[in-house]
């Protein structure tokens, strides 16, 4: 498996990007880096960055629009700001390519609404589709991956569920559009994580993973497998079944925990759950799934817990 951790687990505690890279190099199993653009590139020389990160590779980067676009990224009612929001994503594509990455993740933190009568839904949907299409066409050599989240920062997000992101992919209608699935975001929406995975992967549109765990009512960002063992095991099984060969990125929030140990704990438990799935075997799991029976499923979960 390819693994990456979250830079802000270190940066939010005052460490530099280079210090975080050094920490990742010391962990067992980390293979890739995943940046935020533009925040992690302030004052960074790309050639220097490439030297410092070797032998780690870059998966890609996530665009962060942040507060300047509070009224919307791609649905902003100010045409100039909207244009700059699309341009920021295109600039991110250039940087991603320059450092050897292949996936640009778009999470539309500001595209949503709070009030009835606040939004013309059809107009805004079309702005989302057209903006994303423009980014896809700008960088046909990169994977443009939309990460959905049901709410936070807005009360309602434009792209709020597995179903919505699959519909979006259909509307954008480009070969390089896909999605990144965040485990906590799926739980927040009461989307069954493995179900969404199967829909996206079966269409060849699963470009990224944000692995974490939580209680479902917010973006808890806890260690993978800490809360929902059975759902995590099912998720790993379907990753193997569809031959996912992208990066497993741990999108967790070690606010009180030591960041390096927390990332390593994620990676170790993911490997353990993967080993359990492999021990039981894909064929045996498929046989149980085919029974379509709750008790048989629970017997399998019990077996996986051993």
Q: What is the binding site for Mn ion (CB under 5 A)?
A: 182, 210, 251
- Of residues 62 and 273, the one with the C-beta less far from Mn ion: 62
- Of residues 38 and 52, the one with the C-beta less far from Mn ion: 38
Contact between residue 199 and residue 191 where contact means Cβ atoms under 8 Å apart: no
Smallest distance from the beta carbon of 147 to Mn ion, in angstroms? 6
Smallest distance from the beta carbon of 211 to Mn ion, in angstroms? 9
Smallest distance from the beta carbon of 276 to Mn ion, in angstroms? 25
- Of residues 164 and 304, the one with the C-beta less far from Mn ion: 164
Smallest distance from the beta carbon of 21 to Mn ion, in angstroms? 20
Smallest distance from the beta carbon of 287 to Mn ion, in angstroms? 34
- Of residues 185 and 241, the one with the C-beta less far from Mn ion: 185
- Of residues 82 and 210, the one with the C-beta less far from Mn ion: 210
Smallest distance from the beta carbon of 149 to Mn ion, in angstroms? 7
Tokens of 108: 């539309």
* Distance set, CA 120 to CA 77, 134, 171, 210, 242 (Å): 11, 21, 18, 31, 38
Q: Name, in order, each residue with C-beta under 8 angstroms of 165's C-beta and a sequence gap of 6 or more.
A: 146, 148, 159, 179, 200
- Of residues 32 and 210, the one with the C-beta less far from Mn ion: 210
Smallest distance from the beta carbon of 96 to Mn ion, in angstroms? 17
- Of residues 41 and 183, the one with the C-beta less far from Mn ion: 183
* Distance set, CA 225 to CA 64, 128, 180, 221 (Å): 27, 33, 19, 11
Smallest distance from the beta carbon of 221 to Mn ion, in angstroms? 8
- Of residues 131 and 208, the one with the C-beta less far from Mn ion: 208
């Amino acid at each position: 498996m390819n693994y990456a951790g979250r830079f802000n687990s270190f940066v939010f505690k005052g460490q530099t990007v280079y210090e975080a890279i050094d920490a990742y190099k010391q962990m067992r199993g980390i293979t890739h880096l995943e940046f935020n653009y533009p925040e992690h590139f302030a004052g960074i020389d790309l050639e220097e960055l490439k030297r410092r990160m070797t032998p780690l590779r870059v998966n890609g980067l996530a665009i962060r629009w942040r507060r300047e676009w509070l009224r919307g990224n791609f649905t902003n009612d100010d045409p100039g700001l909207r244009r700059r929001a699309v341009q920021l994503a295109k600039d991110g594509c250039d940087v991603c390519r320059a450092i050897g990455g292949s996936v640009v993740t778009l999470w539309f933190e500001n595209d949503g609404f709070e009030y009835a009568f606040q939004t013309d839904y059809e107009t805004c949907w079309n702005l989302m589709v057209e903006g994303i299409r423009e980014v896809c066409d700008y960088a046909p050599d990169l994977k443009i991956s939309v990460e959905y989240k049901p709410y936070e920062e807005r009360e309602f997000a434009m792209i709020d569920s597995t179903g919505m992101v699959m519909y979006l992919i259909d509307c954008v209608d480009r070969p390089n559009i896909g999605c990144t699935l965040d485990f906590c975001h799926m739980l927040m929406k009461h989307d069954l994580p493995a179900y969404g995975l199967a829909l996206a992967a079966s269409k060849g549109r699963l470009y990224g993973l944000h692995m974490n765990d939580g209680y479902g009512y917010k973006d808890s960002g806890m260690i993978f497998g800490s809360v929902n063992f059975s759902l995590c095991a099912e998720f790993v099984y379907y990753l193997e079944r569809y031959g996912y060969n992208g990066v497993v990125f741990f999108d967790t929030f070690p606010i009180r925990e030591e960041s390096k140990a927390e990332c390593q704990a994620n990676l170790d438990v993911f490997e353990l759950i993967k080993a359990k799935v492999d021990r039981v075997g894909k064929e045996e799991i498929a046989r149980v799934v085919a029974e379509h029976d709750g008790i048989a499923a629970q017997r399998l979960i019990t077996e996986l817990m051993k």
